[in-house]
Amino acid sequence: MKESDRKFVQAAGHETAYFECGAGAPLLLLHGSGPGVSGWTNWGGVMDQLAENFHVIVPDIAGFGFTEFKEDTHYDIKFWVNHLVEFMDAIGLDKASLVGNSFGGAVGIGLALFNPERLDKLVLLGTPAGTFVQTKGLAGAWLYEPSVENMRSLMELFPYDTSLITDELVQSRYEASARPGAQDALRKLIPQPSTDGETMVKGFPEKAVKNIKAPTLVLHGREDNVVPVQCGRVLSENIPNSDLYVFGQCGHWVQTEQKQKFLKILNSFIGGGQA
């Protein structure tokens, strides 16, 4: 696919950007947060391979990427899950498996808890859970002011191997981050870094994720400097039907940094049983 293949549909009062390709069992891919993030920047590198086996749908979450941000909208997890459900309705999708990267995983957890009938299997990549000290990556995302130089510095905090940060990626994310309202939307999601001591970040609590019924695969980079690997352990220890896979020499972008392993594990889990 090309980035120019982006389509739009109305969902929850927002013009919603998305990509769609392939045939087979439906598979939703949800991007994370961070300045300039979009479905394309998170998933463009694996869409075509996944489309060989699945009907792949990649939306931009409300307020992010190329989906609308509205000043008068109260964005929270219930809104984002409702937006996702209305997006599914708009494209005629009754039920799907879902792969969520970071914040996208949090939205996936919300779908599993609030609308479990719309979810088949759940895959969580670098997803926050429990309570943890705000990392340099999350603090940097809140403090970011749009410029190419600032974007490059921030992106270098995400992967284990910084050679993955290409000029094309930096430029693409910078352009998206400079859209009106983009940084405002992000700052509604991430706590403002404290100038006096540690800042605590709260993901879904343990007692909530214990109620997830969907078969779940938790994937996490061992060297994740954005969402610490302890979050993956919290999820796997509390979601009843779940497995955990930790990738060595891997930061926050499992699907990019460990692409071939990711594709093999995901195809096995979604297409068959537990990986």
Residue 84's domain is classified under what CATH number? 3.40.50.1820
Phi, psi (rounded to 5 degrees) for 127: -95, 130
Instruction: Establish if 106 belongs to a structural domain.
Output: yes
How would you label 74-95 residue by residue, b for 16+ Cβ within 10 Å and e otherwise? ebebebbbbbbbbbbeeeebee
Instruction: Establish if 1 belongs to a structural domain.
Output: no
pLDDT digits (tens, 9 = 90+) for 243-252: 999 999 999 9
pLDDT digits (tens, 9 = 90+) for 199-232: 999 989 999 999 999 999 999 999 999 999 999 9
Which pLDDT score, from 0 to 100, does residue 273 have? 39
Could you tell me the two tokens for 65? Answer: 């990427």
- Catalytic residue ranges: 102, 224, 252
Give all strands (DSSP E) within the chain, no chain letters: 7-11, 14-21, 25-30, 54-59, 96-101, 119-125, 131-133, 200-202, 216-221, 242-247
**Domain membership of residue 118 as a residue range:** 7-272
Sole residue written with tokens 């391979």: 49
Q: Is the pLDDT of residue 272 over 60?
A: no
Instruction: Establish if 148 belongs to a structural domain.
Output: yes
Q: Is the pLDDT of residue 270 over 60?
A: yes
Least Cα distance to 66 among 36, 107, 32 occurs for 36
| 22: three-class secondary structure by DSSP | coil
Instruction: Indicate yes or no: pTM above 0.85.
Output: yes
Instruction: Establish if 214 belongs to a structural domain.
Output: yes
Instruction: Establish if 23 belongs to a structural domain.
Output: yes
What's 217's DSSP letter? Answer: E
Instruction: Establish if 86 belongs to a structural domain.
Output: yes
Tabulate helix, strand, coil % of the chain (nearest 5). Answer: 40, 20, 40
Instruction: Establish if 2 belongs to a structural domain.
Output: no
Total tally of structural domains belonging to the chain? 1
Instruction: Establish if 213 belongs to a structural domain.
Output: yes
How far does CA 108 lie from the centroid of its chain?
9
pLDDT digits (tens, 9 = 90+) for 108-152: 999 999 999 999 999 999 999 999 999 999 999 999 999 999 999
